[in-house]
Structure 1
Amino acid sequence: MPAFSGKTHLPRRNWRDPSTWHLRTRLVLVAMALLVAICGAIGLFSYASMDVFLTRQLDTQLKQASDRARDFGGRPTPGNAGGRQDPLEARGQSIGTLNARIVDGAVSSAGVLAADATRKSLSPEDAQVLVAVTPDGIPVDRTLSSGDYRLNAAQSPQGDVIVTGLPLAEKQNTQSSLVWTMVVVSAGGLVLIGLAGTVLIRRTMKPLEQLSEVATKVSRLPLDAGEVALAVRVPASAAHPGTEVGSVGYALNQMLDNVSNALEARQLSEMKVRQFVADASHELRTPLTAIRGYTELMKMTEHFTPDGEKSLARVQSQSQRMTTLVEDLLLLARLDERQPLKLGEVDLTQLAIETVSDEKVMAPDHIWRLKLPEEPVVVRGDPTQLHQVLANLLSNARKHTAPGTTVVTGVTRSADGSAVVTVTDNGDGIAPDFMNHAFSRFARADAARKNPAATTAAATRSAPPGSYGAPALAPAPTAEGTSGLGLSIVQSIMEAHGGTVDVTSRPGRTEFALRLPAGLPAT
């Protein structure tokens, strides 16, 4: 099984998608949006209330001014029996007050009381606006050349119309000041509340962050094999069952306790199995050695029929194969126990030459090539174990590829100083569904092993007449069987040396890459 990478791939955050934002960010934004809505509602209500208040106040002042102007304008002019007083000269009128007399649909006199108590005439356009005002006593807003005015037209007892107006500038200035005050106060309040809310929400969300941190640490632990110390827990401050977040933290701690107990039970079971395999393998060495010895002795001292010689040769080959399997199991047991390596200087270029030469003798029907640097590549390691690593890879290439396949063994020194050994062949490749467990123990990709019934039938059919008829005594198939331990041994030895092994495969190219560090392996 490939080594656990220890990395978790988080989805990329898209700032245009609110669902990918942090929860605290969304809470702060929602709180700010609510505050903005509340401030806006308060501002609109205040503005509307102030507008109604100021309008009523202005209408009261306008009515008083209109009454004074109408009463004064109805008085006759001294020395002129047919004339009337100018409404603008009425006492008590404030600066900016507009007065006009309209007779027979035309403005006979009009003006605005200026700041220096003089009369300021109106333009013809202003006169047309005043004439259009209905004399019903209801105040209206109109825009004149001198600004916005609140106008009131009332008919005097003499039949003419007296128009009185007060400027809206003071009301507008008051409303403008109110708006700016509301904006500044609201903005300042929003900033302060936003900062304070961010701090409070961050502190409130701290337990969730602790839960996330614990879950992330656990997700990065290699829990698939070996001894695992699952000591990560949610802090007690975030694991109170009385709160929502505390209940989640408490449940997570309970789950981690359960997982830890399960891992300890699994580790104990694995240790028992490994100890049993090591003990059984050790005990099997003696009877297997005796079987091989007696087989050799019988071949030298006894005479057999041709079928008997074939059967004895089969016993000898199977005992040799069983011995190899037992030795592999013992090696894996020693590697699992992390026994110290017998370190020494290992020339990988010379090791590659010797191992490939051995394979040439065993499989002359394959094409064996070397790709070596000009300078030797020397590392610190266990020479015997590194030889077995390369021998296992070359043996796999020999067993699982057809005759005529080209196998290239390369040795290089990478830029970071580590040594890299590659074994590449142009065979059919490894099945994709087998790649995920290629380094697992007893994993075998050969088709004959996957169909025992076909293998047994083929062995039975190949038994010659007069034989014992048992499939186990029939001649072996032409393809070599494998125990499924070769790549597992390769991975265990490389891990013991602090290195790695990787495999890439596609039809026409399969490559195993060994990488050994430049420094001493950890022991």
Structure 2
Amino acid sequence: MSRRGPWPVRRRMRLRTKLIAVSLLLLAFVGAGIAVVSYLSMETYLTGQLDLQLRRSAHAATDHVPDPGQPGGSGAVPPNPLQAPGQGEGILMMRVTDGVVDTARSGWIDLQYQQHVIGSADVAALRALTPGASPSNVDLGIGAYRVESLEASDGSIVTVGLPLGTLDGTLSSLGLTMALVAAAGLLAAGVAGTVLIRHNLKPLEEVSTVANRIAELHLDSGEVELVERIEPSDNDTEVGRVGNALNRMLDNLSGALSARQESESKVRRFVADASHELRTPLASIRGYSDLVVRTQKLDDGGRDSMDRVRSQALRMQNLVDDLLLLARYDEGRPPALADLDLTELVVEAATDAEIADAAASARTGTVPHRWNIDVPAEAVMVRGDESQLHRAVANLLSNAKKHTDPGTSVTVVLETRPEGTAAVTVRDCGKGMDAAFLPRIFDRFARADTARSGTDGTTGLGLPIVKAIVEAHGGTIAVASGPSGTEFTIALPAARP
């Protein structure tokens, strides 16, 4: 037998929720892929545009050098490349001639087109760049720049940079926009998917509802009418095929239940009719047997034979009476209910069982059972048929006597319970029953093994009669058995004051 762990059982996700979750998850993956590709594509495009602008500014700066052949070229003051045509906002430029930074033609321009001197730390970072290499990003004290270093026609090294703030801002705005659009799209898809999936799975939920209602029906006995059906739907869809298949299954099941009920009714009518018809010939057999014993002179062998005939006829009549009683219960005949004192009934049944046991023990020379009666001093009132309830208690007491050894203690207890029931418990101290026999102990003609059976013959109808009587009175019967004995408990609704 498996043991439950300390962790609670996780509830399974419903199909509708699972479909919505899977759909949203797939949509989120697709959206994330599109967003990443779009972001990287935009970053590559903007970086390429910035590199093109940077290359144009660098070439314009390197070409902005005085020609010695022109008038005033050899002795003229070199022009400032920051003032070259086409330079962008925030441009940074540094010219190094013969290893010395030309401060007159180096600096950076702010958004107000004011020229500023490059700091010594930024100068060291810019001079570390390799002339002719591809543009790269450099973090300077004045911000992040995209820079490129080239060699001018006069042999000087010109380093040009453009700020990355505009590019980073554009990419940040793009990322935020895509995140908001994706969230709104997922929300809209979740709402729309919930509505659509719920609408399409509604027939399947109807199938589940009908199946659950049918599963709660008691189909093992009695007349069962299966009126539950699924509304006809399109047979081309999976849900429609499931519903139509369930309808066909219910039709087949309804037919099988009707056939079973008809067969049971025939058997019950046969048992009732046969039992009723057998009572007359059995009474005749007993009467003629008594007449032969009284009027004819028989030797000892003949008298023993007639006694055997009489005892078997009596046993047969008891069996027929039991079958007839069960047939009447199967027909659903209600008992005649009246207020009765269960305390008095239990005491009378236990006293009768004790007297009968003492008489039988005296005839056979065996030790009688020890009978114990434990009932409350006050009356315990219930609604029921006195003769039937007396028979139920007497059958339990007789069952305890038959299936235990002589001298065994048998105790009958009557008590009231807080839930408003009166409980009659018959407990013996015998050897107990086999655990495999307990599930079918109330089946008709079921008999315990020889280890528990006594010398008296049994028909296997005593406990089924007890169960039928108790259930007809709205009560329950339970059994528990072990090596220390067997216990039967009848619980009946107590009568209202």
Shift of 1:195: 2.1
Relative to 1, partners in 2 of residues 1:103 and 1:398: Cα closer, same or farther, differing over 3 Å?
same
Shift of 1:383: 0.5
Question: Structure 1, residues 182-230: CA drift from partner, whole Å, max 9, x if none?
Answer: 1111011111211221221122222222222222222221111121112
Which residue of structure 2 aligns with residue 355 of structure 1? 349
Shift of 1:132: 1.9
2:468 is aligned, of 492, 515, 520, to 492
Which residue of structure 2 aligns with residue 263 of structure 1? 257
Which residue of structure 1 aligns with residue 361 of structure 2? none
CA distance in 1, matches of 2:149, 2:93: 10
For 2:440, what is the secondary structure of its paired residue? coil
Which residue of structure 2 aligns with residue 432 of structure 1? 435
CA distance in 2, matches of 1:235, 1:491: 41
Which residue of structure 1 aligns with residue 38 of structure 2? 46
One-letter code aligned to 1:96: G
CA distance in 2, matches of 1:157, 1:72: 10
CA distance in 2, matches of 1:449, 1:505: 12
Q: Which runs of 5+ in 1 are unaligned?
A: 1-11, 451-477
One-letter code aligned to 1:70: T
1:301 is aligned, of 295, 304, 314, to 295
Alpha-carbon contact 1:400-1:446 (below 8 Å) kept: no
Alpha-carbon contact 1:75-1:84 (below 8 Å) kept: no
Which residue of structure 2 aligns with residue 168 of structure 1? 164
1:407 is aligned, of 406, 410, 433, to 410
- Asked if 1:113 corresponds to 2:109, the answer is yes
Question: Structure 1, residues 50-72: CA drift from partner, whole Å, max 9, x if none?
Answer: 11221122122212322332233
CA distance in 2, matches of 1:117, 1:449: 113
- Once the two structures are superposed, the pairs formed by residues 124-143 of structure 1 within 5 Å of their partners are 124-136=120-132, 138-143=134-139
One-letter code aligned to 1:248: V
- Once the two structures are superposed, the pairs formed by residues 460-479 of structure 1 within 5 Å of their partners are 479=455
One-letter code aligned to 1:58: L
Alpha-carbon contact 1:504-1:511 (below 8 Å) kept: yes
Relative to 1, partners in 2 of residues 1:151 and 1:74: Cα closer, same or farther, differing over 3 Å?
farther
For 1:273, what is the secondary structure of its paired residue? helix
CA distance in 2, matches of 1:449, 1:421: 23
For 1:433, what is the secondary structure of its paired residue? coil
Percent of counterpart pairs with the same letter? Answer: 47
CA distance in 1, matches of 2:347, 2:482: 26
CA distance in 2, matches of 1:94, 1:242: 67
For 2:345, what is the secondary structure of its paired residue? helix
Which residue of structure 2 aligns with residue 181 of structure 1? 177
Alpha-carbon contact 2:136-2:148 (below 8 Å) kept: yes
Which residue of structure 1 aligns with residue 25 of structure 2? 33
For 2:394, what is the secondary structure of its paired residue? helix
Which residue of structure 2 aligns with residue 216 of structure 1? 212
- Once the two structures are superposed, the pairs formed by residues 443-454 of structure 1 within 5 Å of their partners are 443-447=446-450
For 1:363, what is the secondary structure of its paired residue? helix
Alpha-carbon contact 2:431-2:452 (below 8 Å) kept: no
- Once the two structures are superposed, the pairs formed by residues 17-416 of structure 1 within 5 Å of their partners are 20-72=12-64, 74=66, 81=75, 83-109=77-103, 110-136=106-132, 138-237=134-233, 240-364=234-358, 365-416=368-419
Alpha-carbon contact 1:422-1:512 (below 8 Å) kept: yes
Once superposed, what is the RMSD of the aligned Cα atoms? 2.3
CA distance in 2, matches of 1:89, 1:243: 75
CA distance in 1, matches of 2:394, 2:139: 102
For 2:445, what is the secondary structure of its paired residue? coil
Alpha-carbon contact 1:349-1:372 (below 8 Å) kept: yes
Q: Which has the higher contact order (CA 8 A, sep 6+)?
A: 1
Question: Given the two structures, how large is their TM-score scaled by the length of structure 1?
Answer: 0.86
CA distance in 2, matches of 1:74, 1:516: 120
Alpha-carbon contact 2:432-2:452 (below 8 Å) kept: no
Q: Which runs of 5+ in 2 are unaligned?
A: 1-7, 359-367
Shift of 1:298: 2.2
Question: Structure 1, residues 330-385: CA drift from partner, whole Å, max 9, x if none?
Answer: 11111122223221112111111100111111224212112212321100111011
Q: 84-93 or 261-270, which moves further after superposition?
A: 84-93
Q: 298-307 or 374-383, which moves further after superposition?
A: 298-307
Shift of 1:400: 1.0
Q: 67-76 or 328-337, which moves further after superposition?
A: 67-76
One-letter code aligned to 1:431: D
Relative to 1, partners in 2 of residues 1:285 and 1:140: Cα closer, same or farther, differing over 3 Å?
same
CA distance in 1, matches of 2:438, 2:175: 71
Q: 274-283 or 189-198, which moves further after superposition?
A: 189-198
Question: Given the two structures, how large is their TM-score scaled by the length of structure 2?
Answer: 0.90
For 2:102, what is the secondary structure of its paired residue? strand
- Asked if 1:14 corresponds to 2:10, the answer is yes
Relative to 1, partners in 2 of residues 1:212 and 1:416: Cα closer, same or farther, differing over 3 Å?
same
One-letter code aligned to 2:420: G
Q: 111-120 or 288-297, which moves further after superposition?
A: 111-120
Alpha-carbon contact 2:402-2:455 (below 8 Å) kept: yes
CA distance in 2, matches of 1:54, 1:282: 104
For 1:81, what is the secondary structure of its paired residue? coil
Alpha-carbon contact 1:444-1:484 (below 8 Å) kept: yes
For 1:304, what is the secondary structure of its paired residue? coil
Question: Structure 1, residues 366-414: CA drift from partner, whole Å, max 9, x if none?
Answer: 1211221232110011101111111111111111111222222111111
CA distance in 2, matches of 1:408, 1:62: 107
Shift of 1:448: 8.9
Shift of 1:485: 1.0
Shift of 1:79: 11
Shift of 1:509: 3.0
* Aligned residue pairs, count: 476
Shift of 1:75: 7.0
CA distance in 2, matches of 1:293, 1:448: 37
One-letter code aligned to 1:490: V
